[in-house]
Amino acid sequence: MNGRRASRIVDEIFDNLAGRGHEMYGGEAVTQLQHALQCATMARRAGATASLVTAALLHDYGHLVVDDGAGDDGAAERGIDMLHEEVAAAHLARWFGPAVTEPIRMHVAAKRYLCATNTDYFADLSPASVASLKVQGGRFSVAEAAEFIAAPFARDAVRLRVWDDLAKDTEARTPALDDFRVDADAALSESPA
């Protein structure tokens, strides 16, 4: 992908994230943008690849591209799964490869996996995450968990999920959104598109 086109794509994605990022992140006390930046910051601090940092930044992008007139605010509380992970992965797959889109697509399944395999994990979920887990299918069975973790990118999705769960701190300080442009640019250049 040429540099000018890649730059326009990142501009479009970042403009949408900045423009709609002020919206609250589900039932949490942080905005979509705060959550995204915290998650990406944790990924970067953990030494993740540019693709995984970008996945962390954009994992909930589906919340920002869903436009059914009512948005998806409070959908889980109404028993509706908006499949934001699938929406984000499909939208971003136009430009990014599977190292970005698969952890995004799998991050909800990773929550179901962790609930099935880590006895302490469920107890630490926020009330909003518990509510969404119910509409997302609940804990995996033993067989489902084994199938999930054997899939390509599953371990990256689990890492992303852990950062996702921690990225709800109202006092956290993060770099600005533009600071993550270098990761997004690098992830675009790695994609097969």
Residue-wise pLDDT tens digits, 61-74: 988 887 543 344 55
pLDDT for residue 119 is more than 60: yes
How many residues would you count in the chain? 193
pTM beyond 0.75: yes
Residue 132: the pLDDT is: 80
Region for 26 from its dihedrals, namely left if φ exceeds 0, alpha if ψ lies in -120 to 50, beta otherwise: left
The secondary structure element, H or E, covering residue 105 is helix 98-117
Nearest to 86 by CA among 56, 67, 113, 65: 65
Report pLDDT for 71.
Answer: 43
Q: Which fold has domain 3-190?
A: Hypothetical protein af1432 (1.10.3210)
Q: Confidence class of residue 23 from pLDDT cuts 50, 70 and 90?
A: confident
Average pLDDT over residues 26-54: 93
Cα distances (Å, whole numbers) of residue 95 to 7, 92, 153: 11, 6, 18
The rounded mean pLDDT for the chain is 87
pLDDT for 64: 85
So what's the pLDDT on residue 115? Answer: 95
Percentage with pLDDT > 90 across the chain = 62
Which three-class secondary structure state does DSSP give residue 24?
strand
Residue 145: which H helix or E strand, with range? helix 142-149
Q: In terms of pLDDT, which residue wins out, 79 or 54?
A: 54
Tokens for 179?
């600071």
**What is the CA 84 to chain-centroid distance, rounded?**
9
The amino acid at residue 153 is F
Say how many C-beta atoms besides its own lie within 10 A of residue 176's C-beta: 9
Q: Is the pLDDT of residue 26 over 90?
A: no
